[in-house]
Structure 1
Amino acid sequence: MGVYHHSQETMATVLAKFQETQRLQEEQYLGFREELKSINTTLGTIVGVLKELINTRRDTVAQQGAPDTSLDDEFPTTSAGASGQEAPP
């Protein structure tokens, strides 16, 4: 019975450690999720401000009677997106 009892204790210890690890991973996941929500909110705010600045600039240039192409040259768009590749000239 000694080996059987020792095996049960070992299994109980392993199970307890597994459950603790699982709990810690869940806490970490929830923390990361909250951080990502915060980052997403911040990025949304930044994008909103940038859009407003671009619209204001375009309105200002339009009032002056010249087409606004400077932003297209300064900030070209690309299908590469955030992959780190630069837009073609």
Structure 2
Amino acid sequence: MTELAAPHDMALPSLMKHLRKLEAAGLITSVKEGRIRSCALAPEPFVPVQDWLSAQRKMWEDRLDRLDDYVRDITRRRDDGPGSED
């Protein structure tokens, strides 16, 4: 736990309080072996977030693809329009 607390400018008891809350919420698991406590992310609670992000990614990729098509079309029309040097 000391390793986790070090980069956060946080006292160990404060970090432990945060970790207990994360564990109570099911976001992490911890195992104590002797004096060493190890923590790991629990992947299951993050599945709905990953699903939502995937849907958002797909939606935005589609929107950006349509915007790209639109900009290319406008550029092509401008370049092919009256007064072009072709």
Q: Given the two structures, how large is their TM-score scaled by the length of structure 2?
A: 0.48
Tell me which of the two structures has the higher relative contact order, counting C-alpha pairs closer than 8 angstroms and 6 or more residues apart.
Answer: 2
Greater helix share, structure number: 1
Greater strand share, structure number: 2
